[in-house]
Structure 1
Amino acid sequence: MARDSSRRDHDRQPRDRDTYRNRDRERERQRRRRGHRATDSTGELLPQAPRTPRDTSTSESPNRRKAKASDRTSGGSSNPLSLDSLAKLDQLNQKKGWKGYDYDSEYVKEVRRKEERLEKERVREEEREKRRMREEEREKRRAYESDYAREEQRRVKKERAVGEKNRRHTDDEREDRRRYEERYTESERKERRERRKAEAAQREAASDKKMRRVISGPLLEEGGNKEVHEYIAEKRGGAGSGSSDGYTDEEWARRKRKRICIIFGIVVLILAIVIPVAIVVSKKNSSSTTPQSNASANTQKPSNSELNGISESSIPATAKGTILDPFTWYDTTDFNVTYTDAVVGGLTIMGLNSTWDDSVQANPNVPALKDSFDYGTMPIRGMNVGGWLSIEPFITPSFFSGFSTHDNVIDEYTLTSKLGSTKATQTIESHYSAFVNRQTFEDIRAAGFDHVRIPFSYWAVTTYDGDPYIPKISWRYLLRGIEYCRQNGLRVNLDLHALPGSQNGWNHSGRQGVIGWLNGTDGDLNAQRSLDIHNQLSTFFAQDRYKNIVTMYGLVNEPRMVALNTDAVLNWTSKAIDLIRKNNITAVLVFGDGFMGLDNWQGKLQNYDNLLLDVHQYVIFNTDQIKLKHTDKLNFACKGWTAQTLRSEDKTTGFGPTMCGEWSQADTDCTQYINDVGVGSRWEGTMNTGNASTSVLSPTCPTNNNPTCECTDANADPSKYTAVYKQWLLQFAQAQMESFERGWGWFYWTWETEAATQWSWKLGMAAGILPAHAYDRNFNCNDTLPDYGQLGLPENY
Structure 2
Amino acid sequence: MRRILAGLVLSSTLVARAWAGQPAHIHGVNLGSWLVLEPWMLPQEWSDMGGQECEVCSTCIASESSFAKAYPDTVDTTFAQHWDTWFTQDDVNTLKAAGINTVRIPLGYWIVEALVDRPNESYPRGGLNYLRRGLSWLQDAGIQVILDHHALPGVQMPGQMFTGDCTTDVQFYTPYNYRRALVWTAVMTVFSHLDPVFGNVFAIEAVNDPITDATNTPDYGTFQKNFVQITRAIELTLGISVPSSNLSVSVSPSVSNNFTAALIATSSATGISTEVQAALLEAVPILREIGAASGLQTTLEASPFKQSGPPLVANFMDVNYQHNNPSNPADVAIGPQAYDNHVSYSHGGIADPDPTSYMSSICNFKRLQADAAVGNSPLWFGEWELATQFDATDEFLCKWADAQKLAYSKSAGWIYWNFKIEISNRTDGNALARQWSYLEGLKLGFLTQDPAALHDPNVCVSYMNKTTDDTSS
Match of 1:541 in 2: 192
Instruction: List per-residue Cα deviations over 1:305-332 (Å, max 9, x = no partner).
Output: xxxxxxxxxxxxxxxxxxxxxxxxxxxx
Q: Give the aligned residue type for 1:637.
A: I
Are 2:35 and 2:106, in contact at CA under 8 Å, matched by a contact in 1?
A: yes
Matched, 1:629 2:354: yes
Match of 1:551 in 2: 202
- 1-side partners of 2:344 and 2:324: how far apart? 14
Q: CA deviation at 1:765?
A: 1.4
Are 1:518 and 1:564, in contact at CA under 8 Å, matched by a contact in 2?
A: no
Match of 1:771 in 2: 448
Matched, 1:455 2:106: yes
Match of 2:401 in 1: 733
- 2-side partners of 1:507 and 1:769: how far apart? 28
Q: For 1:501, which of 154, 157, 162 is the aligned residue?
A: 154
Alignment of structure 1 residues 555-570 onto 2, 5 Å:
555-562=206-213, 565-566=216-217, 568-570=219-221
Alignment of structure 1 residues 200-599 onto 2, 5 Å:
372-373=20-21, 378-401=24-47, 403=52, 405=54, 408-418=60-70, 420-462=71-113, 463-465=116-118, 466-471=120-125, 473-505=126-158, 506-519=160-173, 523-543=174-194, 545=196, 548-562=199-213, 565-566=216-217, 568-584=219-235, 586-593=311-318, 595-596=321-322
Matched, 1:754 2:408: no
Match of 1:618 in 2: 344
Alignment of structure 1 residues 132-143 onto 2, 5 Å:
none
Q: CA deviation at 1:785?
A: 4.1
Q: CA deviation at 1:656?
A: 2.7
- Mark the CA change 1:487 to 1:572 in structure 2 (over 3 Å): closer, same or farther: same
Q: Give the aligned residue type for 1:524.
A: P
Secondary structure of 1:421's aligned partner: coil
Q: Give the aligned residue type for 2:52.
A: F
Q: CA deviation at 1:565?
A: 4.3
Q: Give the aligned residue type for 2:442.
A: M
Match of 1:685 in 2: none
Are 1:646 and 1:743, in contact at CA under 8 Å, matched by a contact in 2?
A: no
Instruction: List per-residue Cα deviations over 1:126-175 (Å, max 9, x = no partner).
Output: xxxxxxxxxxxxxxxxxxxxxxxxxxxxxxxxxxxxxxxxxxxxxxxxxx
Instruction: List per-residue Cα deviations over 1:573-608 (Å, max 9, x = no partner).
Output: 111110011111711111123731699776852643
- 1-side partners of 2:53 and 2:146: how far apart? 37
Give the superposed CA RMSD.
2.8
- 1-side partners of 2:215 and 2:73: how far apart? 36
Q: CA deviation at 1:611?
A: 1.1
Are 2:359 and 2:460, in contact at CA under 8 Å, matched by a contact in 1?
A: no
Secondary structure of 2:441's aligned partner: helix
- Mark the CA change 1:382 to 1:429 in structure 2 (over 3 Å): closer, same or farther: same
Are 2:384 and 2:415, in contact at CA under 8 Å, matched by a contact in 1?
A: yes
- 2-side partners of 1:656 and 1:404: how far apart? 40
Instruction: List per-residue Cα deviations over 1:194-222 (Å, max 9, x = no partner).
Output: xxxxxxxxxxxxxxxxxxxxxxxxxxxxx
- 2-side partners of 1:424 and 1:564: how far apart? 37
- Percentage identity across aligned positions? 24
Are 1:598 and 1:648, in contact at CA under 8 Å, matched by a contact in 2?
A: no
Q: CA deviation at 1:650?
A: 3.5
Match of 2:290 in 1: none
- 2-side partners of 1:771 and 1:568: how far apart? 43
- Mark the CA change 1:404 to 1:512 in structure 2 (over 3 Å): closer, same or farther: closer
Structure 2 length-normalised TM: 0.68
- Mark the CA change 1:449 to 1:509 in structure 2 (over 3 Å): closer, same or farther: same
- 1-side partners of 2:202 and 2:53: how far apart? 43
Secondary structure of 1:605's aligned partner: helix
Are 1:450 and 1:489, in contact at CA under 8 Å, matched by a contact in 2?
A: yes
Secondary structure of 2:37's aligned partner: coil
- 1-side partners of 2:106 and 2:131: how far apart? 9
- 2-side partners of 1:620 and 1:449: how far apart? 24
Instruction: List per-residue Cα deviations over 1:501-524 (Å, max 9, x = no partner).
Output: 1111221010112353444xxx22
Q: Which runs of 5+ in 1 are unaligned?
A: 1-370, 669-700, 702-712, 715-724, 787-797
Are 2:363 and 2:460, in contact at CA under 8 Å, matched by a contact in 1?
A: no
Q: Which structure's CA Rg is the greater one?
A: 1
Q: CA deviation at 1:782?
A: 6.0
Q: For 1:644, which of 350, 367, 384 is the aligned residue?
A: 367
Q: CA deviation at 1:732?
A: 0.8
Q: CA deviation at 1:781?
A: 4.8
Secondary structure of 1:469's aligned partner: coil
- 2-side partners of 1:431 and 1:491: how far apart? 23
Q: CA deviation at 1:547?
A: 7.2
- 2-side partners of 1:410 and 1:563: how far apart? 28
Q: CA deviation at 1:783?
A: 5.0
Are 1:400 and 1:409, in contact at CA under 8 Å, matched by a contact in 2?
A: no
Q: For 2:384, which of 624, 647, 663 is the aligned residue?
A: 663
Q: CA deviation at 1:766?
A: 1.5
- Mark the CA change 1:664 to 1:601 in structure 2 (over 3 Å): closer, same or farther: farther
- Mark the CA change 1:608 to 1:638 in structure 2 (over 3 Å): closer, same or farther: farther
Instruction: List per-residue Cα deviations over 1:600-644 (Å, max 9, x = no partner).
Output: 77685264331111110111112452x33202212211212xx22
Q: Give the aligned residue type for 1:615.
A: N
Q: Give the aligned residue type for 2:386.
A: Q
Secondary structure of 2:73's aligned partner: helix
Q: CA deviation at 1:400?
A: 4.6
Are 2:339 and 2:380, in contact at CA under 8 Å, matched by a contact in 1?
A: yes
- Mark the CA change 1:782 to 1:403 in structure 2 (over 3 Å): closer, same or farther: closer
- 1-side partners of 2:161 and 2:52: how far apart? 16
Secondary structure of 1:747's aligned partner: strand
Are 2:32 and 2:418, in contact at CA under 8 Å, matched by a contact in 1?
A: yes
Are 2:28 and 2:101, in contact at CA under 8 Å, matched by a contact in 1?
A: yes
Q: CA deviation at 1:399?
A: 4.6
- 1-side partners of 2:60 and 2:318: how far apart? 31
- 1-side partners of 2:89 and 2:138: how far apart? 9
- Mark the CA change 1:518 to 1:544 in structure 2 (over 3 Å): closer, same or farther: closer
Are 1:460 and 1:475, in contact at CA under 8 Å, matched by a contact in 2?
A: yes
Match of 1:351 in 2: none
- 2-side partners of 1:664 and 1:403: how far apart? 25
- Mark the CA change 1:527 to 1:639 in structure 2 (over 3 Å): closer, same or farther: same
Instruction: List per-residue Cα deviations over 1:702-737 (Å, max 9, x = no partner).
Output: xxxxxxxxxxx66xxxxxxxxxx2121022112111
- 2-side partners of 1:748 and 1:621: how far apart? 16
Match of 2:297 in 1: none
Q: Give the aligned residue type for 2:408.
A: F
- 2-side partners of 1:769 and 1:415: how far apart? 36
Instruction: List per-residue Cα deviations over 1:170-193 (Å, max 9, x = no partner).
Output: xxxxxxxxxxxxxxxxxxxxxxxx
- Mark the CA change 1:511 to 1:539 in structure 2 (over 3 Å): closer, same or farther: same
Are 1:454 and 1:493, in contact at CA under 8 Å, matched by a contact in 2?
A: yes
Q: Give the aligned residue type for 1:646.
A: Q
Secondary structure of 1:394's aligned partner: helix
Secondary structure of 1:432's aligned partner: helix
Instruction: List per-residue Cα deviations over 1:657-710 (Å, max 9, x = no partner).
Output: 211110001112xxxxxxxxxxxxxxxxxxxxxxxxxxxxxxxx6xxxxxxxxx
Are 2:41 and 2:421, in contact at CA under 8 Å, matched by a contact in 1?
A: yes
Are 1:730 and 1:771, in contact at CA under 8 Å, matched by a contact in 2?
A: no
- 2-side partners of 1:502 and 1:605: how far apart? 25
Are 2:193 and 2:199, in contact at CA under 8 Å, matched by a contact in 1?
A: no
Are 2:32 and 2:105, in contact at CA under 8 Å, matched by a contact in 1?
A: yes
Match of 1:209 in 2: none
Give the total of aligned pairs: 352
